[in-house]
Structure 1
Amino acid sequence: MTATGADQDAAGSTARALLWWGRRRSAVLDVGLAAVSAAECAVQGVGFAYQAALPVPVGVVFGFLVGSVLVVRRRWPIAVVLVSVATTPAEMGFLMAVVGLYTLAASEVPRRIVATLAGMSLAATFIVTFVRVRQDVLGAGGHAWYEPLTAGFMSLGLTAPPVLFGLYIGARRRLMESLRERADSLEQELSLLADRAEQRAQWARQEERTRIAREMHDVVAHRVSLMVVHAAALQAVALKDPQKAVRNAALVGDMGRQALTELREMLGVLRSGDPEAAATAAPPQRPAAEGVPLAAVGAAAAAAAAAAAGAGAGAGPSLADIEALVGQSRMTGMVVEFAVHGDARGYAPEVEQTAYRVVQEALTNVHKHAAGAEVRVRLAHREAEVAMQVENGVPGTAVAAPGLPSGGNGLLGMRERVTALGGVFVSGPTDAGGFRVSAVLPDRGRAA
């Protein structure tokens, strides 16, 4: 766009800003009505000049100016009605009176002002009409009721229809504006809801990624840690006790296959999007190698995989599987004391899964950071909750650390699991130099 075009647009915008019409069509309509009204009043000004003994050009010019007032009906409707009332005795400006009353009633002027000006116009029209009719029929000897009845019909016919129609149009306009504002408000609310839905979707995706990572960590890390411990033991006794080395090698192989099976099942569920399939699937069982009770290991692995893939379906490890979990750690040579207090009972699936994962991760941490330490696992069934505690002593100096990697997310994952169910999680070193992990989970079934 050139500079000249920009200047012209700026001049046009300034000119439009000086006017009170929002649209060009409204300006054309008002100018046209004002021209018709000016012509009407100019013609009626001839009769007014004869009655007032004024020169005819004066009456014509006066009528033209009076009728031209209609051009400002949108900006000053009260002024237009007052002018029409003032010129009623001159019997001019009927179009201006009708259009002025309609515009006044349809505008945002208070209703008491509309009623007052409409009453003034009605009274002025009634008086002028009554006097004119009385003069016309004075010599005809008409009835006494004829003049007021005729004046009443004329005044009501010129005042009531434009006022009522203007009130209707004003109410309709306000209703349309209210509906438009409501539609805009609903559109904004829908936009906000869409934004919030997108935020919730992002949050849900993030939570799902976190849950999957936690399940992967809990399912795989424990078994891989046991494999590393058995591999270290295998290396230590390979030359001294070949039979024990063979048993350890078979156990490592079985655990590796179980870990791969669990991982394959979990990834298969993630790809297919069918968590119920993995919830019902169980990893294949192999016969025990050299007297090692792998049935318990396989059952715990199957339960762990089902919990990772089918948490929503209610399948997964339970409190009854903790004893098998402790047995796995004992196979590595760890001294584990396991005690249960209170009468065992069933809990909600998510409570039992979380309790199992807490004990599992605590034992995994002992294998990683406190090899050779004695461990005490406590499980307490209370009235409205279940509590678990895993405490290890000082690591043994004669046992070499297996050198297991640690991501530092184990305790964080346990805390997230417990607090998500409304429980309490506490972990930290003991006075004796060991480490303690404690968790209390509410019995959600009893709370419900």
Structure 2
Amino acid sequence: MTERTGTARPAWAVPFGAADPTGSRTWVVLLIIAVIGFGALQTPQATRSPAALALTAAALLAWAGYTVLRRGRARGVLIAVCAAAAAVGTGLGVTVLVAGMIAPATVLLGDPRVRLGRIVALCAGSAAVLLVVAVPARLSPTAILIDLGGLAFGIVIGVSRRYRVRAVQQQEALREAAAAAEQDAARNRLLEERAAVARDIHDVLAHSLGGLVLQLDAIEALLERGRADEAAVRASSARSMAAEGLAEARRAVAALRDPCTEGAVDVPDEALADLIAAHRSLGGAVDLTGDPTLAGVDRPHRQALVRSVQEALTNARRHAPGLQVRVRVVRSEHALRLQVENALPASPAPSPGGGHGLLGMRERFAALGDGSSASAGVEGGSFVVEATAVLP
């Protein structure tokens, strides 16, 4: 009889009778073995029969060896020897040796690592050996029933402990799984917060700094032509754009440092119209269809719609400068649909590192969780950005 070996177990997982790290339980079991041995030596059968005496010594020594050893194949052999010797000795009339039959059943059943098939074989074998020896030895039926009842009682105790240990293990596993799930949830929340901040920072860089580059290019061109007054107007516009971009960047950084910080600001009803006007002020041409006001739209949907139009116009200035942009606004009772379309240039300029703005736009709408959506792609020679906000 062997049992599985492995790493050190926690105190609650050590079966009764097995050696534990502190050694206190080992000494208790050894004391019990000594008491049983002393009682066995007082029985007439042990004192009169050398065979009974040898079996008593073998059973108790095997039990003690199993208790002292920490691990290894020898422990399984010793516990089997203990059970067999105790069964023969009990059948010969050394009734106190029934403890040597009960102990293996209790110890092995209490350890979930030991296979049940081996334990059943050990217990059934012990009972069979007891009956085979007890009948020729003329042990009384009452004594046989008492011995078998003791074995059954040990089996019940072992099964009870086995289920208790498994229940504790399952609780430990559930606690570990819950802790891991909580860590994953916290990590996901952190990633979502960082993704939101990354979207805001991208919008600041792409819109504000991109607009500043266009303004500065226009100022340089105007100054070369001697049109200082117009250059001054452009410089004032660039300054306002830089101040607005800096304020948005500060809000994004504040949100990154403290997620509880309210990074969003109110979006006015004229936000879409202001974006279109800003695009025109940067030299872009816009054909607007529909009413761009956001009256009646709640703040989360406003922010998503404004960011989508901002991203579309920024991309148009970046990839298709000078080409006309068509903006369509269609509003129904429970939805507002935006479409921004610009023709593709014959020779598009290279633009490394792109794509984050469109991805962030889709994430904004998906985060609303109400069926709102955004998409972008090439359709019939034009680049089209569509956004649909589902309104309550």
TM-score range, shorter chain: 0.5 to 0.7
Counterpart selection for 1:198 from 183, 197, 204: 183
Partner residue of 1:435? 383
- Following TM superposition, by how much is the alpha carbon of 1:393 offset from its aligned partner in structure 2, in angstroms? 3.4
- Write the mapping of 1:47-66 to structure 2, written as runs, cut at 5 A: 60-61=49-50, 64=53
Letter of the structure 2 residue corresponding to residue 179 of structure 1: R
Asked whether the 8 Å contact 2:200–2:252 carries over to 1, the reply is no
1:30–1:362 Cα change, 3 Å: same
Paired with 1:343 and 1:234, the residues of 2 have a C-alpha distance of: 31
State whether structure 2 residue 367 is matched by structure 1 residue 413: no
Partner residue of 1:259? 245
Between 1:208-217 and 1:343-352, the stretch displaced more is: 343-352
Partner residue of 1:247? 233
Three-state SS of the structure 1 residue aligned to 2:290 is: strand
Paired with 1:261 and 1:44, the residues of 2 have a C-alpha distance of: 99
Paired with 1:343 and 1:330, the residues of 2 have a C-alpha distance of: 17
Three-state SS of the structure 1 residue aligned to 2:338 is: strand
Three-state SS of the structure 2 residue aligned to 1:317 is: coil
Paired with 2:124 and 2:282, the residues of 1 have a C-alpha distance of: 96
Asked whether the 8 Å contact 1:30–1:70 carries over to 2, the reply is no
Asked whether the 8 Å contact 1:425–1:439 carries over to 2, the reply is yes
Asked whether the 8 Å contact 1:390–1:438 carries over to 2, the reply is yes
Asked whether the 8 Å contact 1:428–1:436 carries over to 2, the reply is yes
Asked whether the 8 Å contact 2:289–2:327 carries over to 1, the reply is yes
- Write the mapping of 1:170-185 to structure 2, written as runs, cut at 5 A: 170-185=155-170
Partner residue of 2:96? 95
- Following TM superposition, by how much is the alpha carbon of 1:388 offset from its aligned partner in structure 2, in angstroms? 1.0
- Following TM superposition, by how much is the alpha carbon of 1:352 offset from its aligned partner in structure 2, in angstroms? 2.1
1:265–1:404 Cα change, 3 Å: farther
**Gaps (5+ residues) in structure 2?**
1-16, 20-25, 64-78, 110-118
Letter of the structure 1 residue corresponding to residue 96 of structure 2: L
1:419–1:79 Cα change, 3 Å: same
- Following TM superposition, by how much is the alpha carbon of 1:215 offset from its aligned partner in structure 2, in angstroms? 0.4
Paired with 2:239 and 2:281, the residues of 1 have a C-alpha distance of: 14
Question: Which is higher, the Rg of structure 1 or of structure 2?
Answer: 1
Partner residue of 1:133? none
Three-state SS of the structure 2 residue aligned to 1:190 is: helix
Q: How many residues align?
A: 333
Paired with 1:404 and 1:65, the residues of 2 have a C-alpha distance of: 94
1:442–1:114 Cα change, 3 Å: farther
Three-state SS of the structure 2 residue aligned to 1:380 is: strand
Q: Which digits, 9 at most, give the CA deviation of each residue in 1:47-67, with x for residues without a partner?
A: xxxxxxxxxxxxx54654575
- Following TM superposition, by how much is the alpha carbon of 1:438 offset from its aligned partner in structure 2, in angstroms? 1.7
1:412–1:200 Cα change, 3 Å: same
Counterpart selection for 2:330 from 380, 403, 419: 380
Counterpart selection for 1:188 from 167, 173, 193: 173
Taking CA–CA contacts closer than 8 Å with sequence separation of 6 or more, which of the two structures ends up with the larger relative contact order?
Answer: 2
Three-state SS of the structure 2 residue aligned to 1:441 is: strand
- Following TM superposition, by how much is the alpha carbon of 1:389 offset from its aligned partner in structure 2, in angstroms? 0.7
Letter of the structure 2 residue corresponding to residue 187 of structure 1: E
TM-score (norm 2): 0.66
Three-state SS of the structure 2 residue aligned to 1:275 is: coil
Partner residue of 1:299? none
TM-score (norm 1): 0.59
1:339–1:84 Cα change, 3 Å: same
Three-state SS of the structure 1 residue aligned to 2:284 is: coil
1:416–1:272 Cα change, 3 Å: closer
Partner residue of 1:390? 340
- Following TM superposition, by how much is the alpha carbon of 1:358 offset from its aligned partner in structure 2, in angstroms? 0.5
Paired with 2:298 and 2:376, the residues of 1 have a C-alpha distance of: 24
- Following TM superposition, by how much is the alpha carbon of 1:331 offset from its aligned partner in structure 2, in angstroms? 2.0
Letter of the structure 2 residue corresponding to residue 250 of structure 1: S
Alpha-carbon RMSD: 4.4
Letter of the structure 2 residue corresponding to residue 350 of structure 1: P
- Write the mapping of 1:312-327 to structure 2, written as runs, cut at 5 A: 315-317=265-267, 320-327=270-277
Paired with 2:254 and 2:95, the residues of 1 have a C-alpha distance of: 87
Asked whether the 8 Å contact 1:379–1:386 carries over to 2, the reply is yes
